[in-house]
Structure 1
Amino acid sequence: MSSCRERRTAPARVLLSLLALAGAAAVAQPAAYPGIGRAATAPEVQAWDIDVRPDFKGLPAGSGSVAKGMEVWEAKCASCHGVFGESNETFSPLIGGTTADDVRTGRTARLLDPSFPGRTTMMKLSSVSTLWDYINRAMPWNAPKSLSTEEVYAVTAYVLNLGGVLPDSFVLSDRNIAEVQQRLPNRNGMSTQHGLWPGKTLGHGKPDVQGTACMTNCATEPKLASFLPDHARNNHGNLAEQQRPVGPQRGADTTRPAPATAAAAAAVATAVATAPRPAAPASPAAAALAAAQKYTCTACHGVDKKIVGPGLREIAVKYQGRADAEAYLLGKIRAGGQGVWGPIPMPAQTLPEADAKLIAQWLASGAGK
């Protein structure tokens, strides 16, 4: 009996040995470009390969409730997108323009209504996977990919709840997301009859954009039909101070006029790239302002003027005569608030205690330079 078992398992042992040798040979193969980089490991590829397809391939297992989504939304999303997805002065509305009849038919009627004032995200969204994937990869704006899987499911469920797609008690998960897809107001509204889709079977075979290369009598300088005037360039604060903590992107210094030519732009880019790193702040005021910039407070609060919320020195002036100004401002930083400076809420902030106290002390003392 034992010899029979050994004969049956011998081919399996041989196959495993061959596979191990093949794997070792693959690892030992020379790189395509010797001396440049290395092959990505499986965990590295997995960390990068996070997109979710319309058929929900790539969607991780998990779930999140509408109630949980409301908590995450108010803490991390509402400051930019509004409490009910109505947005504010900075971003376009996410919610609005859809009806219960749209949920039934899968076509947003107001997309064909030229009198309707705008196009919201919920009006145009044709796949739940697009919403889930974008929230997962890109939100919140100042800390992308920081949400847990449960939080992404929950925020997705809350957005769909705001749009009238899901009830208040709903729990969205990888097991029922395909059913939710069948309730999107514009799930049947996507068209393939345009040049973005190649081939005669899908699109009309003709590109949407028609252009010809200039070969003779070409204009030497382009003429702009419109441009952003210098007085509006810094309307929402300095872009160079509003960068997300990922990737190589660097915003323009919008406190200065735009370069007049491409050569000037290249010179500015070179100067920025080669500029020495700033020294550590030399004063408490400089340290407090540096902390405000580090934790993206200046993305919503300009130093001397309003952006989304009031200017920092405007806050300092309002509370300058208050005996408990430092403690009050520290509490506001910690808990957030709404109504004192307008309808746009400020979410609770989670910066370290020492930095929060530093900013509160600076504001209470007048926010000097």
Structure 2
Amino acid sequence: MPKARCTMSKSRLLAIAGIAGLGVATLAYAASASKYGLGTAATPQQIAGWNIDVRPDGQGLPPGQGSVAQGEKVFDANCAMCHGTFGDSNKYMVLAGGVGSLKTAAPLSTVGSRLNYATTLFDYINRAMPFPHSKSLTADEVYAAAAYVLNLSDIVPGNFVANRETLPKVKMPNRDGFYEFPGLMHVHGKSDTHNTTCMHDCAKEVKITGSIPEGFVASMYGDIRDNFRGLASMNEAAPPADEATAHAAAAPTPRALTEQFGCAACHGIDQKIVGPAFHSVAAKYKGDAGAEQRLFKKVRAGGSGVWGSIPMPPQAGPSDAELTAIIQWVLAGSPEK
């Protein structure tokens, strides 16, 4: 059988071939353009560093363990300054007690009364505590702190050891106290954003009635990078070698010590936060030869009444030399250098 002869002209064949080639090139360009050519693919190690959430069944808990006895030491050094030695600080920071109180006339929101899973306690401490140096505790220290806090409300016994096996098995008193909110907990739940109670008599002008004192963030956090360095969960795993060496060689300044031991969380240099401003303390004790010794004892022991009713917890963290340096710096007017 004779072969069929193509009757298309050579120029037309070339035109079709060119269009086909253009189509392939366009598809290739579209595929590459969708990636934008920016950034790099995250490595499994980088993803793991950010993937730190812990679920009710314990999924996400890291290796490690900590006992109630170990947790008491971790708590005293890192948590008691705000929460009190036994988790019984003033009501907006209280951790212990209150079990079964949420349905009473005097509800007290605490770890024992509110949380429905013990793993939530680990997750929160791990990502947010201690203030203001979050993520600075090891997994063992977080387990220990969680065990101690649970023991404060008699949820676990004194010989309890928290780890990835035991913590999910802890039955919290409020395990069955939560219920699903239909508008938020289901994919097909009905939204409540059109609730008529919040669609009438809306304020036309918003009046700001309070604000964070000027310098609050700087005095509390300092250089925020220093709070998170050396931690696998952050983008910057460690400071540059030369900067790390300089950091290690230089003794911390008194101001740095106030940040390290949490003083700056409650005291601004020239602004009252929870406690008085450092400048106010210096003015009160100006010319008082015995002020340094009295303040040393007062800070160590804690107390209230001089500057208001909110108590300052005992400060066991700084060494004698460090606490002396802090007090001398405050009484000198908190100089920059």
TM range (shorter): 0.5 to 0.7
1:161 to 151, 157, 162: 151
Which residue of structure 1 lines up, in the alignment, with residue 203 of structure 2?
A: 223
1:344 to 306, 312, 317: 312
1:242 to 212, 215, 220: 220
Paired letter, 1:69: G
Q: How does 1:138-217 map to 2 (within 5 A)?
A: 138-180=128-170, 182=171, 184-192=172-180, 194-198=182-186, 205-210=189-194
Structure 2 alignment gaps of length 5 or more: 1-30, 226-252
| CA separation of 1:313 and 1:295: change in aligned 2, threshold 3 A | same
Give, in angstroms, the shift of residue 75 of structure 1.
1.5
Which residue of structure 1 lines up, in the alignment, with residue 103 of structure 2?
A: 112
Q: How does 1:52-91 map to 2 (within 5 A)?
A: 52-88=54-90, 91=92
Q: How does 1:329-368 map to 2 (within 5 A)?
A: 336-339=300-303, 343-349=311-317, 357=325, 359-365=326-332, 367=334
1:194–1:208 CA contact under 8 A, matched in 2 = no
Encode CA deviations 1:34-87: one digit per residue, 9 max, x unaligned: 531101122211111111111111111211111111111121112222222233
Give, in angstroms, the shift of residue 127 of structure 1.
1.0
| Identity in percent | 38
2:112–2:173 CA contact under 8 A, matched in 1 = yes
SS in 2 for 1:172: strand
SS in 2 for 1:166: coil
Give, in angstroms, the shift of residue 129 of structure 1.
1.4
Give, in angstroms, the shift of residue 311 of structure 1.
3.0
Aligned length: 272
1:142–1:245 CA contact under 8 A, matched in 2 = no
RMSD of aligned C-alpha atoms? Answer: 4.2
Which residue of structure 2 lines up, in the alignment, with residue 128 of structure 1?
A: 118
Structure 1 alignment gaps of length 5 or more: 1-28, 99-107, 213-217, 248-286
Distance 1:290 1:148 in 2: 22
2:67–2:144 CA contact under 8 A, matched in 1 = yes
1:76–1:347 CA contact under 8 A, matched in 2 = no
Paired letter, 2:302: Q
Give, in angstroms, the shift of residue 143 of structure 1.
0.8
Paired letter, 1:242: M
Give, in angstroms, the shift of residue 292 of structure 1.
4.9
| CA separation of 1:179 and 1:295: change in aligned 2, threshold 3 A | closer
| CA separation of 1:165 and 1:305: change in aligned 2, threshold 3 A | same
Paired letter, 1:96: G
Paired letter, 1:300: C
1:313 aligns with 2:303: no
Paired letter, 2:114: K
The answer to which structure, 1 or 2, has the higher relative contact order (CA under 8 A, 6+ apart) is: 2
Q: TM-score, normalised by structure 2?
A: 0.65
Paired letter, 1:196: L
1:75–1:348 CA contact under 8 A, matched in 2 = yes
2:285–2:331 CA contact under 8 A, matched in 1 = no
Please, which moves more after superposition, 68-77 or 340-349? 340-349
